Amino acid sequence: MIRLYHSPLSPFCRKVRLVLAEKRLEVELVEERYWEKSVEFMRRNPAGKVPVLRIDNRTLTESAPICEYLDERYGDPKLIPSNIDARYEVRRLIAWFDDKFHNEVTSNLLYERVNKKLTGAGYPDSTRIKAGSKAIKYHLDYMGWLLDQRRWLAGDHMTLADFAAAAHLSSLDYISDVDWNRNGNVREWYAKIKSRPAFRSLLADQVPSFPPPPHYADLDF
């Protein structure tokens, strides 16, 4: 049995969940209150972060290497291309979302609105929320520009780059922080990826005190 220690709205955990589901791997999800830094959890990952994957008596940490490990070990379907140029573009976009998008958008919106309350870290910072609301417009426009030229974010085929982007956007969509009317290309792309069987688990998530909006699990928005 594969076991994933996760937090439901964490985009990094969601990315790993999408890969596991796309590979049709059975997994036990264990919700982890990582901010409490329990002794048992810190033994699993001294960095004190989720996701943490237990597989074949091995403990894997950090979402990027976990996803690459799963893609190399369970090849079908491949989410990272074999072509060196295509592989570079996938990794570039993963870094874009897990670094730039995360720092400019996810941390300013999701973490301020939800994580602070869940972890007891204080009240939301309105300045950061305004910054995140402004920054997401730029990112949606950039995605729309990419999708003007490609079927998927990194090229003609769905890749791990699409899952990285969808993981962040789905977390933000849970709190109604994505304007899907801003760009038709992005809306169409998200509708495609949202309708995949791999997305079902994410759409069923429920976080106490934070009910999702009605459109969150609606495949037609």
Helix (H) or strand (E) holding 54: strand 52-55
Contact status, residue 18 vs residue 25, Cβ threshold 8 Å: no
Cis amide prior to 211 (ω within 30 degrees) = no
Residues 6+ apart with CB under 8 A from 15: 63, 67, 98, 160, 163, 164, 167
Cα–Cα distance, 126 to 169 (Å, whole number):
20
Query: In a structure prediction context, what are the per-residue pLDDT tens digits for the chain, which is 221 residues long?
Result: 899 999 999 999 999 999 999 999 999 999 999 999 999 999 999 999 999 999 999 999 999 999 999 999 998 899 999 999 999 999 999 999 999 999 999 999 999 999 999 999 999 999 999 999 999 999 999 999 999 999 999 999 999 999 999 999 999 999 999 999 999 999 999 999 999 999 999 999 999 999 999 999 998 88
- Confidence (pTM): 0.96
Cα–Cα distance, 61 to 50 (Å, whole number):
7
